[in-house]
Structure 1
Amino acid sequence: MELNAFVDAIKEYAQSVGFVPEKNGIWRKDINRPSNEFENVAYCGFIREGQEPSGPYSDFSLCFMPEKTNDDTNSISACAIVLVVGTQQFMYDGAIAQSPFTRRRFLRLNSNSRVYYKSDFSNITDRLPELTTKLKEEHPRIRQFDERFGPLVVAFEVVDIKNDFTVEDIPYEFKKWICAYAEFRGWPTNDTQRKEVVDVLDKLESINSKKSLTEDEIYKILLRDKYIILQGAPGTGKTYTALNIAEKFKNVKFTQFHAETSYSDFVYGIKPDTASNTLIYKDNPGVLYEAIKEANTGKDVLLIIDEINRANLSNVLGPVFYLFEKNTGNNRKYKIKIGDLEIDKLPETLYVIGTMNTADKSLAVVDFALRRRFTWITLRPQVIDHKDFRKEEFLEFENMFMRHATDEELNLQPGQSYFIAADDEAMKQRLKYELMPLIKEYINEGFLPSAKDEFVNYFYNKIGELMYE
């Protein structure tokens, strides 16, 4: 593609989504360079408004670094798209750079191609290792900008240019970056511009709405790994999924842990015989013992442990913890006694699914030793195909979490089951009696502090109720 045609298409498309030169941003280009200088400095792109048309600048910019086909032509074969901070570093964007939402805006660009990005957009001292290696190995003709600006680059993608294009048929890889930057800078001012940005970015997956594994995929993992944990926020379908998978087994045992669950309850113990006239004790086989006993007959047995982190797992599992080990073969030297059983490993036909609510911060922390023994599968909030699913309300909640939640707080986002309602009135009831108390509890616990006012206004506008009187 001819270089000037490429530059014109980039600028014209940006104008179609609200960019106004010298008003809401500055357009810069420096492409008319001798061949021996081109790869060092040639670029075009957009910088924050209020800056000079040339020379050093500050804050985030979106730059396009073209790669010429060879030294004797004005054709380009690739382009590095770079979100980079100016050499004067941060003047106005410092606080924005520290916000997780800023990173998430551009992280979602990774859903349909390979975008490299920093985990911290305020870090302008370290280089992205992929920046150096990818450019050196695959695009040596545009590697020089890494040497000059490497630490200031927070995200980038290299796009091969195989065909000519105009603003009318500009490739999606360029559209998504320009629209993400337009949204970030607030360029769109009319419905046409906003619609274009929304249409382009809607093709990307939200960071927190990446598709969870299907039940069939989870079932296959269970058969392979034997012990799995389904973890996720309230309403993401952990228990629902476990029970659906249980339908594939003829022999299923279910238990739910709580703060008072003990080894005697779950594994094996003794208890008073209330039918006797004298104080005597009798054996009390727990659900794990019963599952092992049944699996020892050669039957496939599924044990579901709901809310597994509600109990003190060290006390509940005791020495049985030793048995939850994958791929042990016949190398075990010690046996564990459980009632009348002495075993050194769990039966090959015993499968275990545990569920864990990641939003309940008052529960026991699961230690690394247990994590090693189970396969951990995260169920995420996601749009579902259900006739009563309220997509609008779900996305409103998701967007508020995207704007305000830390990475850890994303685990609190209510799942899709909260947004299943037969009609508007039913949804209002769910907002009033389920979602508003849940969000209020989060905020009272110190989570999502910056989202408080937005949630207060949201609930008032939706149901006419104040979250705080």
Structure 2
Amino acid sequence: MKKLLHVIHNPEKDRWQNRNQEAFEELFGAGSGRYPERAKSAFTLRAPEFSGGSGVPFAAYIHPNNPDTGAYGGMSFVLFPIPDGPALLAMVVGTQGLSPDEEVLGRPGHSRKVKAICAWLNKKYGQGKMVAWAKEDPVRTDLDIPNHIKQSFHLYHDAFKRYGKVIYGFFAPQEDQKMTEEALKAFLDLLLEERGQGLLKGSQKDGETIREAYFSHLMAPVNENEVLDLLRKKRFVILQGPPGTGKTRMARNIVERFYDHHGTTVQFHPNTTYENVIGGLAPLQSDEGLGFRFAPQKGFLMKAAEIAAQDPTRSYLLHIDEINRADLSKVLGEALYLLEAQEVRSRQLELPYDFGSPFGNRLTLPQNLHIIGTMNSADRSIAIVDIAVRRRFAFVKMWPQMAVVQKYGCPLMIQAYRELLSLFIEQASDDALELLPGHSYFLESNEEVAAKALQVTLVPLLEEYIAQGYVAGFADSVRAYIQWVNSLR
């Protein structure tokens, strides 16, 4: 890619077309190439000489079905040179429309990967500033690049003015050519992948490293230290994600390891009530009257607050499993007022009954009381939707992790997970992506029993997704995956 890098960082007017043609040729074939010679047929290079008129100079890798001149359509990779800096690297929809790449551009996976590449570049090279940007939906060619993004990358004003509505991802190179090289490889590898082409054997390891790097921004791993830091700052945290991602295990580990077992676990369900959580009147055995009487009884939140208040120097963690199985707005009621992590002064809630020491009829939540909830994004029977509730909790998404499957699963499990992951990333809507089964379904290390394990645990879950209409947009692909799993022995 040396010649292409030189073109990007030295976009002189002289021999623009020839220099781009030479750089294009260098990308293919054994030796200095990154892609096989046959992959060259998947593109046409269009790099008109600088005209000196009002046009915007460019060099574009476009679909070969397009005409030799004039407007083109479909997905393309484009360089936009400027006089006083390196050329912009951009993913562009041709001004003629989506065809012949409407299927690629309309697939959620393509947009998802472009956004992941840009997020990875910003995280790795941005140093707190943006060096890349991606549109939410490439097919929305009616939407322009936002003005504040244009202002941040004002050097490319001319390209944005003319092509801002069709640019759906870009990277602005800096002085470091290593940065440009990685961005170039990520965009071109994706372009070749969407055209059904791969990399030469000598480049496959490098390509996989880059792909895994930006994929980590699709499903970023979360560790216990990060969650603990949030608990210390925000006090109230909810771990959310698909089934099998280790949410409950992480919460319990945090109680045991970091709180030294100074905490408790409770589980919500649809019949959980305000009285269960805060407190209320409950029957107690008595020798009087009918043999029982009603008296105030503390709920588990009040009990947790009581334990925490006994030793203000030691944090206490209340773990609420399946927190979205109950309607939090109802079960917390006015006690929602107490969940304010940033409040300097402790808030008080007046209760209808006297619950005895230490609160009486005024409940407060000690600053050393922390709450961690776990929320299964696949269970949509009751969901947390109240904005007031969301504002009071820090939400952390927990995604399935390939690294865990590679560490503990057998080759069949790794293959099964990789194929299901690819299926969801490519075809699932944003809502459906959050249903991707977690890595715990793929941790069988014994090859002989792996197939059966998938058939009795994973397949029923996927069948339920289909029955509930959760994966309606790609149900046939999920059914085909199920058929493959059921054919395994």
Instruction: Give TM class, smaller chain.
Output: 0.7 to 0.9
Corresponding residue of 2:15: none
- Bigger CA drift: 172-181 or 196-205? 196-205
- Contact 1:180–1:201 (CA under 8 A) maintained in structure 2: no
1:441 Cα deviation after fit: 0.7
- Contact 1:394–1:419 (CA under 8 A) maintained in structure 2: yes
- Partners of 2:165 and 2:36 in 1: CA distance: 30
- Partners of 1:151 and 1:193 in 2: CA distance: 37
- Contact 2:351–2:362 (CA under 8 A) maintained in structure 1: yes
Match of 1:86 among 81, 94, 97: 94
- Bigger CA drift: 204-213 or 58-67? 204-213
- Partners of 1:414 and 1:102 in 2: CA distance: 21
Corresponding residue of 2:268: 257
1:19–1:44 Cα change, 3 Å: farther
- Bigger CA drift: 152-161 or 78-87? 152-161
Match of 2:233 among 224, 241, 263: 224
1:465 Cα deviation after fit: 7.1
- Bigger CA drift: 222-231 or 20-29? 20-29
1:249 Cα deviation after fit: 1.9
- Partners of 1:287 and 1:49 in 2: CA distance: 66
- Unmatched segments (≥5 aa) in structure 1: 70-76
- Partners of 1:127 and 1:316 in 2: CA distance: 45
Corresponding residue of 1:442: 465
1:399–1:332 Cα change, 3 Å: same
- Partners of 2:182 and 2:236 in 1: CA distance: 42
1:392 Cα deviation after fit: 3.0
Corresponding residue of 1:177: 187
1:147–1:410 Cα change, 3 Å: same
The aligned amino acid for 1:176 is A
- Contact 2:238–2:395 (CA under 8 A) maintained in structure 1: yes
- Partners of 1:22 and 1:399 in 2: CA distance: 25
Spell out the pairing of 1:140-289 with structure 2 (5 A cutoff): 142-160=156-174, 171-188=181-198, 192=201, 195=204, 198-199=207-208, 201-206=210-215, 209-247=218-256, 248-250=258-260, 251-274=262-285, 276=287, 278-289=291-302
1:367 Cα deviation after fit: 0.7
Corresponding residue of 1:392: 415
1:241 Cα deviation after fit: 0.8
Q: Secondary structure at the match of 1:421?
A: coil
- Contact 2:112–2:218 (CA under 8 A) maintained in structure 1: no
Corresponding residue of 1:74: none
- Partners of 2:335 and 2:319 in 1: CA distance: 16
- Partners of 1:310 and 1:317 in 2: CA distance: 13
1:443–1:197 Cα change, 3 Å: farther
1:11–1:264 Cα change, 3 Å: same
Q: Secondary structure at the match of 1:112?
A: helix
- Partners of 2:424 and 2:398 in 1: CA distance: 17
Corresponding residue of 1:29: 47
- Contact 2:432–2:470 (CA under 8 A) maintained in structure 1: yes
1:40 Cα deviation after fit: 4.2
- Partners of 1:445 and 1:207 in 2: CA distance: 29
- Partners of 1:425 and 1:381 in 2: CA distance: 24
- Contact 2:328–2:384 (CA under 8 A) maintained in structure 1: no
1:210–1:90 Cα change, 3 Å: closer
Q: Secondary structure at the match of 2:384?
A: coil
1:90–1:366 Cα change, 3 Å: closer
Q: How high is the TM-score relative to the length of structure 1?
A: 0.85
- What is the alpha-carbon root mean square deviation over aligned residues? 3.0
- Partners of 1:454 and 1:334 in 2: CA distance: 52
Corresponding residue of 2:56: 41
How many residue pairs match? The answer is 447
Match of 1:374 among 382, 393, 408: 393
- Bigger CA drift: 93-102 or 275-284? 275-284
- Partners of 2:39 and 2:318 in 1: CA distance: 64
- Partners of 1:332 and 1:269 in 2: CA distance: 20
1:217 Cα deviation after fit: 1.5
For 1:217-255, what per-residue CA distance to the aligned partner results, in whole angstroms no more than 9, with x for missing partners? Answer: 211210111111111111111111111110122421211
For 1:436-461, what per-residue CA distance to the aligned partner results, in whole angstroms no more than 9, with x for missing partners? Answer: 11111111111223433333333333
1:80 Cα deviation after fit: 0.7
Corresponding residue of 2:425: 402
- Contact 2:186–2:211 (CA under 8 A) maintained in structure 1: no
- Contact 2:234–2:342 (CA under 8 A) maintained in structure 1: no
Spell out the pairing of 1:5-20 with structure 2 (5 A cutoff): 5=19, 8-13=22-27, 16=33, 17-18=35-36
- Contact 1:108–1:205 (CA under 8 A) maintained in structure 2: yes
Say whether residues 1:359 and 2:378 are aligned partners: yes
- Contact 2:75–2:101 (CA under 8 A) maintained in structure 1: yes
- Partners of 1:55 and 1:244 in 2: CA distance: 62
1:321–1:334 Cα change, 3 Å: closer
1:52 Cα deviation after fit: 1.4
- Contact 2:338–2:365 (CA under 8 A) maintained in structure 1: yes
The aligned amino acid for 1:224 is K
- Contact 1:229–1:356 (CA under 8 A) maintained in structure 2: yes
Corresponding residue of 1:319: 334
Q: How high is the TM-score relative to the length of structure 2?
A: 0.82
Say whether residues 1:346 and 2:355 are aligned partners: no
1:82–1:208 Cα change, 3 Å: closer
- Unmatched segments (≥5 aa) in structure 2: 1-5, 12-17, 123-130
- Partners of 1:106 and 1:222 in 2: CA distance: 32
- Partners of 1:411 and 1:348 in 2: CA distance: 33
Q: Secondary structure at the match of 2:311?
A: coil
Q: Secondary structure at the match of 1:220?
A: helix
1:457–1:425 Cα change, 3 Å: farther
The aligned amino acid for 2:309 is N
- Contact 1:40–1:145 (CA under 8 A) maintained in structure 2: no
- Contact 2:116–2:217 (CA under 8 A) maintained in structure 1: no
The aligned amino acid for 2:44 is I
- Partners of 1:59 and 1:213 in 2: CA distance: 37
Corresponding residue of 2:303: 290
Q: Secondary structure at the match of 2:344?
A: coil
